[in-house]
Structure formats: structure tokens, C-alpha cells
Amino acid sequence: MDTTQHRDVFTTMARGFHVARASAVLPATTTYSLFTISTGRVLVTLLMGEVTVVNTATATNAKILINPTTGTSGEIAADLAIASLEAGTIYLVEGDGSALVAVSAGGSYFAAGTPAPFVAPAGTLDLETSATNATGAAKWDIWYFPLDAGASVASA
């Protein structure tokens, strides 16, 4: 195995399977699905986004919702003010229901703490914004372990 293959195996063992969602413009005062969870429950070990296009100065909040196929929707990460965040800023879901966290480009969150894993049922993980912010864009990544046979995550 070369270095890249070793790193990929280690990452899968440590954080789980990885799914990336390409950069997309933020939803305008609405919700869109980031990831679809199929067949059963998964243990999400890390969910994060990265600002790829600077957000405008328009006052805007963003949050992450869980929208199960069966059951009641809820917040995974509460509102974060995202106006004027620079490219490279990381959105981090702590997994405990508190606010979405923003770590400026070049910053390090993991030195201060580690996100908590959370269980997500079949359905979607969604991003919701409170205002139109058409110039901001972000890409998203998720790492997970299936808890039920056949459970998987795909980019929505």
C-alpha cells in the first residue's frame, strides 16, 4: 500500500465511511438536503462544511436539521450567524444539538474539543438558512458507520 491508501484505511477505521457533497450555493430562505440516509440508522462521527464562496454581509443564520422518513424533524445544530464568513471557514456540527460552529480559515477546532457522534435514522440531513444569501456557497463532508444492515449515506 502507498501512503494515500494507508491514510484512507486509517480514516475509515477511525471516522467511518466518507461521503462528500460538492460545493453549492446556499439555499435562499429555505431548506435543502445535504445527505440522504437510506435503509436504516447510521452513527455520524463527523459532519462538516467549508465555505467555498464568501458569504455576503446579509444577516443570515444557518442550521442543520434531521428530517427522518418516519418521525419528527429536529435540529442537529442550531442557528449560526454566517454573514461575511471568509472562504475556507469550516462549519462544524458538534453533535450535541448546540449551535453550528464556525472555525475561521486556518483555525483549529479539534484542539479545543471533539464533535460528539450522533445517530441519524433513514431520511435526510438538511441545511436551512434564514435569508437570501445567493453569493455564499459551501461544500460538505460526512463520516459515518452503518448501524443497521444495508444502511448507507449518499450526497443529496
Closest-CA residue to 156 (of 32, 18, 53): 32
Please give the angle made by the CA atoms of 75, 119 and 23, to the nearest 5 degrees: 65
* pLDDT tens string 56-97: 888 889 999 999 999 999 999 999 999 889 999 999 998 888
Cα–chain center distance at 114: 15
Measured in degrees and rounded to the nearest 5, phi and psi for residue 122 equal -55, 135
Residues 100, 78: contact at Cβ < 8 Å? yes
Closest-CA residue to 144 (of 42, 49, 75): 42
* pLDDT tens string 107-142: 665 544 568 899 999 999 999 998 775 678 999 999
Assigned CATH topology for domain 18-155: Jelly Rolls (2.60.120)
